[in-house]
Amino acid sequence: MLNKLLMGACALSLAASVAFGAQGVKFYVGDGDKEKPYMSMVNEKISTIGFVLSDPHEHIDISYKTKWGTEFQTIKGVTSKHPDFDPTFKATLDNLGFFSITNDAVVGPLLMKEPSLGGFSPFNLHIYKKMGEDKTYVGHVMPDTMLDIVGIKDKEVREKFVASFGELDKMTEKEIGSKVQYVDYKALPAKPMMTFEVPFDRAGGVDKFTSDFQSRFEEAFEAHKYIIAGYKNMKESMDSAGIKFDRFDAYWVYSLCHFRFSEGIFNQGRPDAGVFAPCSMYMYVDKGSNKMMVGMPRLETWTAVMGIKDKKMTDSIIALDKEIAKIMTDLGAKEL
């Protein structure tokens, strides 16, 4: 009888966790076009609560239209067929923007304990508006979900990181609207992060190695039609701000975007998934180490958290995860 009761309780507990899941993403929903208050917020106001804006990318929707929805182009007075014109392209968005932000004063000390936090430092304060819908969505991945994806369990780190979103959410609610929409999910992939190590000879100098690797990295990804959508030298930023960051000889974060891949998801029905874009790939060298450590959340986490079901989208996500890993191993990285 006791076993039956225990089994019943377990079944109810499992059903509850599946039914309710976890809150993965939060959007504030404002009536009408909220572009002006949003731009004022990210350009002028978030700095007052400690956030630093880096590599803003506004109106990606217009870039999509220009690249694939424009049949003819005029260059120096000469009109010709646009080489990238796609007759099947259909614009669906009035706005799509990626604005990478970090609270350096909070994140700096936390990175000293948990370098993998660079997987969401910076993170995207995302904005989008669909055509034909008089609403604007502004939001971010929930901080607990960010921490779960990068694998941070340290209680103090988690509490401080989560707490840093309080003022940001208050400001977003004030500027955009008080209606909140969550995206719930059931579970993360078994391996939400891709991680690598890159051995190098310190005798040649850390600066020379990092400079050479960055050049090869950017060339390799651009050759595969990725855009280097952002770069933040964390070591330099923290040192300049007087934030203790002496664990590292070097630490930087790249923001990566594959433009056609992104259009196939964000412009084709899932602009909300843009909250994960661009992908943050962190790279760091600990003091005295002869290895560079690299990490990035897998795009498979998009599928899990956002509940993406479309097969074309999920196939493209799987393909990109594999391609990114291969580019890295071709650059001499060892996948962990």
Q: According to the 3-state scheme, what is the secondary structure of 39-97?
A: HHHHHHHHHHHCCEEEEEECCHHHHHHHHHCCCEEEECCEEEECCCCCCCCCCCEEEEE
Q: Rounded to whole angstroms, how far apart are CA atoms 40 and 330? A: 43
CB atoms within 10 A of CB 34: 22
Q: In the prediction, which pLDDT does 16 show? A: 33
Angle at 252 between CA 241 and CA 167, to 5 degrees: 55
The structure tokens listed for 323 are 């391609």
Which of the listed CATH numbers 1.10.3720.10, 1.10.150.120, 3.30.310.70, 3.40.50.300 matches domain 22-335?
3.30.310.70
Q: In the prediction, which pLDDT does 84 show? A: 85
Q: In the prediction, which pLDDT does 73 show? A: 83
Q: In the prediction, which pLDDT does 77 show? A: 82
Q: Is there a cis peptide before residue 278, judged by omega within 30 degrees of 0?
A: yes
Q: In the prediction, which pLDDT does 207 show? A: 94
Q: In the prediction, which pLDDT does 38 show? A: 98
Q: Where are the domains of the chain?
A: 22-335
CB atoms within 10 A of CB 8: 10
Q: In the prediction, which pLDDT does 80 show? A: 81
Q: In the prediction, which pLDDT does 176 show? A: 97
pTM of the shown model: 0.90
Tens digits of per-residue pLDDT, 236-265? 999 999 999 999 999 999 999 999 999 999
Q: In the prediction, which pLDDT does 217 show? A: 97
Q: In the prediction, which pLDDT does 178 show? A: 94
| Positions in the chain short of pLDDT 50 | 1-20
CB 18 within 8 A of CB 137: no
